């Protein structure tokens, strides 16, 4: 937890520093309004005090950027690219796998992490990524019903799904892209 203390005058500065030292709280100087903080090409006036780490040169502290009021994405979620990623990951990892309950439980977690990692490499700005993988047995009479409900904006939020089968198992992978305003 980070707490910021700023001094209002020279008279209270000594008291603030002592209180911060006793409570082990870092004090930070206030920013002038014209100082800016930049993140991935967008520049905004920061409404917090910056403190630069002398070892790494990085900016330390909580960063609060001003609102951009951007309610629509520049580019839509690339469903075709996501579907190719889903197909590649499932066929690479499940082509020769035999169904075992314990192994497939772990495999579904690993595959969903891999899907999320690969989709994030596409660097789709302002989209939150959710990846879900279901794996089941191809035994006699086995089936699965999957339903999902989401509260989202129909214009920008979407998903991509891919189904995989081999002789022993089936898998259904879904990646949701939810636009973050």
Name the pairing type of β-strands 59-60 and 51-52: antiparallel
Question: How does residue 37 score in pLDDT terms, banded at 50, 70 and 90?
Answer: very low
In the predicted model, what is the mean pLDDT of residues 30-50? 42
pLDDT tens string 129-177: 999 999 999 887 778 888 888 888 899 999 999 999 999 999 999 999 9
* Residue 70: per-residue pLDDT: 79
pLDDT at 3 over 50: no
Residue 129 in 3-state DSSP? Answer: strand
* Residue 54: per-residue pLDDT: 52
* Residue 23: per-residue pLDDT: 44
* Residue 68: per-residue pLDDT: 76
In the predicted model, what is the mean pLDDT of residues 76-100? 94
* Residue 78: per-residue pLDDT: 94
**Domain 79-179: homologous superfamily in CATH:** Tctex-1 (3.30.1140.40)
Residue ranges of the chain that CATH labels 3.30.1140.40? 79-179
Whole-number Å distance between alpha carbons of 29 and 48: 9
């Amino acid at each position: 937890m980070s707490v910021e203390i700023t001094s209002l005058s020279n008279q209270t500065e000594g008291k603030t520093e002592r209180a911060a030292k006793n409570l082990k709280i870092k004090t930070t100087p206030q920013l002038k309004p014209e100082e800016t903080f930049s993140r991935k090409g967008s520049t905004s006036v920061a409404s917090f005090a910056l403190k630069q780490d002398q070892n790494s040169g990085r900016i330390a502290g909580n960063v609060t950027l001003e609102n951009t009021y951007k309610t629509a994405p520049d580019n839509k979620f690339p469903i075709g690219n996501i579907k190719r990623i889903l197909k590649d990951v499932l066929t690479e990892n499940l082509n020769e796998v035999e169904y075992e309950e314990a192994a497939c439980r772990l495999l579904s977690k690993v595959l969903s992490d891999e899907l999320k990692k690969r989709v994030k490499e596409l660097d789709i700005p302002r989209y939150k990524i959710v990846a879900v993988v279901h794996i089941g047995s191809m035994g006699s009479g086995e089936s699965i019903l999957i339903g999902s409900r989401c509260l989202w904006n129909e214009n920008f939020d979407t998903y991509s799904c891919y189904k995989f089968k081999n002789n022993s198992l089936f898998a259904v992978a879904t990646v949701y892209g939810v636009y973050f305003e």
